[in-house]
Structure 1
Amino acid sequence: MRAPNNLNALRAFEAVARHLSYPAAAAELNVTPAAIGQLIRGLEAYLDIELFHRSSSGPSRLSLTDAARAALPDLQGGFDLLSSAVERLRASKSRIIFTVTVPPAFAEKWLLWRVGRFQGRHPYYDLRIETSGHLVDFTSERIDVGIRYGTGAWPDLMSTFLLRDEFFPVCSPALAHGPNALRRPSDLKNHPLIHDTSMSGFGVFPTWRSWLLHAGYRDSFETDRGLQLNDSAMAIQTAISGNGVALGRTTLVERDLAEGRLVKPFDHVQSCELAYYLVYRKEREQHAPVLAFKEWLLEEVGSN
């Protein structure tokens, strides 16, 4: 039996295996369904096995055979390696657009003022940074890699631990040392409290109530009063402007503390099991831009 054009046939098989549809695979590969069918039949004849069970009824007329299902992950991994190698070659002559999704506050307060170092190391990668507060679909929105804050477990995504925050009060220097100076937790009664509600769905996310209890302050205290904001960067900026005391997070306030826009009136910190993770689809694990961004990001985290 004469071998089919194996690369095209394998591409056709992988696309049909994902979509379980000849027309959908044909649209993705920009060929006709008849061409897809011919490639699949040729590959099955060459290998002398069936790749799909075909049914004339039911919601899906195609289903993978056991042999096809077992071989599919290796095939997809091989295509990813091939794509990565081609992109490495292309990078020497052309630019590659690489899309990263990042929480808005993390982008503003941590990532953006560091990202020039990545661009200096990888001048042929053009980063497209998308900030979003919701969990984007990596496949439909064509995302290469993301940074997420949470427990580290997200369906269909690989994750690599990056950073874990500590939480503590922060405010402007003028507020800390003004007429109602902040010397002990009880002094917080004299100032507006700024609440970051962006992660209110997570019970383990620190709040003013949890920080005060963790700090050993048991006296009666109206901890829910003040300004509530659903954006962490806005909460920090409000504290910088002198309009209250915020519960700061290490990654989001480190630069403002270092440059004197904020001060930390109390030493006590509260930890949190939530953390920042780099996330990506399994099939993109060996993708050249993902590897480059991951390597750089881990170096940046390690240098803190």
Structure 2
Amino acid sequence: MRSPVHLNALRAFEASARHRSFSLAASELNVTPAAVGQLVRTLEDWLDAPLFHRGSTGRVRLVLTEAAERALPDIRAGFDGLSLGLARMREVSSNAVLTVTVSPAFAAKWLLPRLDRFQAAWPDVDVRLDTNLKLLDFAAQGIDIGVRYGRGAWPGLFAEKLMDEEVYPVCSPVLAAPNGAFQSVGDLAGQTLIHDLSVDPAAGFMTWEAWLQNAGAPEVPTARGLRINNSAAVLQAAIDGHGVALARSIMARDDLAAGRVVRLFPDITVPSALAYYVVHRPECAGLPKLTSFRDWLFSEADAAAGR
């Protein structure tokens, strides 16, 4: 089994089992579905046992045999170990690459304005940002560390809370100025409400409906308004005077400090059920470039909070 052919066959099997699809495995491995199928058959021939149940031609998802299901965690752990070994070998390079995954909005509103300070402190680490709304597979995509927004539980990843936040309405100073336009929450009625669709409300993400309920004004209508699936764009729409946005405090902090938006009803505090977490694979915790970036993230978060 030390043959490269069998190693490629194991890779094809692991990707096919993870995706439950030869086609999706082929896309990940940059080969054809037929090549993936042939590699899996090669492994099955060597084992003299099937790894997938061959169903009807209409079957959409692959179904593993019982033996394959039992073996999959060990094979996956083996590939994770290989990835970690390669990462440690790369650490000897003076130009170590650190691949960081964050959402596009978090990159634009929090990370990128501060990243120069990390690069000044660690000039030998080249940061590669992956700004993706999808939850990436750290091992498969070569991700070292990331910041995720949620409740703190993601399979296969160690999560450490970085920042809590609260949620509150903001608008441009021009919109807020006329005649003290917003004396009470009820004054939001008739305003254009800007809705953030970037996170599923089922995950605990604060919506206008939930915020108004917490603020004691559930009668304010929310059915109409401007809907945007990017938190940075939500803030930009508020800055440009297009309405009142329900802002996430971490995203809005710099815009508030610069006076680009103003917070409405500052006496009303509604904490978010979600928070920002630093995440990475547990087996990578000791990599120097990872720990350096993790420590820097926490120092920046403490500085932003005035700690």
Instruction: Classify the TM-score, shorter chain.
Output: 0.7 to 0.9
Matching residue's letter, 1:293: F
Equivalent position SS for 1:271: coil
Q: Does 1:272 align with 2:254?
A: no
Q: Does 1:198 align with 2:190?
A: no
Q: Radius of gyration: which is bigger? A: 1
Matching residue's letter, 1:244: G
Offset of residue 288 of structure 1: 2.1
Aligned length: 261
Q: Does 1:90 align with 2:88?
A: no
Which of 49, 53, 56 is 2:48 aligned to?
Answer: 56
Find the aligned partners of 1:59 and 1:265 in 2 and give their Cα distance: 59
Given that 2:100 and 2:146 are in contact with CA atoms closer than 8 Å, whether structure 1 keeps it comes out as: yes
Equivalent position SS for 1:224: coil
Offset of residue 88 of structure 1: 4.8
Given that 2:83 and 2:139 are in contact with CA atoms closer than 8 Å, whether structure 1 keeps it comes out as: no
C-alpha spacing 1:89/1:216, structure 2 compared with 1 (3 Å):
same
Identity %: 38
Given that 1:180 and 1:187 are in contact with CA atoms closer than 8 Å, whether structure 2 keeps it comes out as: no
Deviates more, 1:258-267 or 1:274-283: 274-283
Q: Does 1:154 align with 2:164?
A: no
Offset of residue 221 of structure 1: 2.0
C-alpha spacing 1:225/1:179, structure 2 compared with 1 (3 Å):
farther
Task: With the length of structure 1 as denominator, give the TM-score of the two structures.
Answer: 0.73
Find the aligned partners of 1:232 and 1:20 in 2 and give their Cα distance: 38
Q: For 1:1-304, what aligned pairs fall within 5 Å after superposition? A: 19=11, 55-59=47-51, 80=84, 84=88, 86-91=89-94, 95-179=95-179, 181-218=181-218, 220-267=219-266, 268-304=268-304
Given that 2:212 and 2:220 are in contact with CA atoms closer than 8 Å, whether structure 1 keeps it comes out as: no
Find the aligned partners of 1:82 and 1:136 in 2 and give their Cα distance: 19
Deviations 1:225-248 (CA, angstroms, capped at 9, x unpaired): 211111111111000001100011
Find the aligned partners of 1:191 and 1:257 in 2 and give their Cα distance: 20
Deviations 1:188-236 (CA, angstroms, capped at 9, x unpaired): 1142110101113425211112112211225x22122211111111111
Find the aligned partners of 2:193 and 2:81 in 1 and give their Cα distance: 51
Structure 1 counterpart of 2:18? none
Offset of residue 146 of structure 1: 1.4
Matching residue's letter, 2:127: L
Deviations 1:101-128 (CA, angstroms, capped at 9, x unpaired): 1101110000001011110111011111
Instruction: Give the root-mean-square deviation of aligned CA atoms.
Output: 3.7
Equivalent position SS for 2:148: strand
Unaligned runs of 5+ in 1: 1-8, 22-27, 29-53
Given that 1:180 and 1:190 are in contact with CA atoms closer than 8 Å, whether structure 2 keeps it comes out as: no
Offset of residue 76 of structure 1: 7.3
Matching residue's letter, 1:111: L
Equivalent position SS for 2:253: helix
Find the aligned partners of 2:251 and 2:123 in 1 and give their Cα distance: 27
Matching residue's letter, 1:246: A
Matching residue's letter, 1:195: H
Offset of residue 269 of structure 1: 2.1
Find the aligned partners of 1:116 and 1:273 in 2 and give their Cα distance: 31
Offset of residue 19 of structure 1: 4.9
C-alpha spacing 1:78/1:143, structure 2 compared with 1 (3 Å):
closer
Find the aligned partners of 2:203 and 2:91 in 1 and give their Cα distance: 44
Find the aligned partners of 2:212 and 2:79 in 1 and give their Cα distance: 54
Offset of residue 87 of structure 1: 4.6
Equivalent position SS for 2:106: helix
Deviations 1:67-119 (CA, angstroms, capped at 9, x unpaired): xx99x9799779948954x555432xxx1222111101110000001011110
C-alpha spacing 1:190/1:178, structure 2 compared with 1 (3 Å):
farther
Find the aligned partners of 1:263 and 1:257 in 2 and give their Cα distance: 6
Offset of residue 144 of structure 1: 1.5
Task: With the length of structure 2 as denominator, give the TM-score of the two structures.
Answer: 0.72
Offset of residue 187 of structure 1: 1.1
After TM superposition, the runs of 4+ consecutive aligned structure 1 residues lying more than 3 A away are 18-21, 72-84, 86-89
C-alpha spacing 1:139/1:73, structure 2 compared with 1 (3 Å):
closer
Find the aligned partners of 1:203 and 1:166 in 2 and give their Cα distance: 16
C-alpha spacing 1:78/1:205, structure 2 compared with 1 (3 Å):
closer
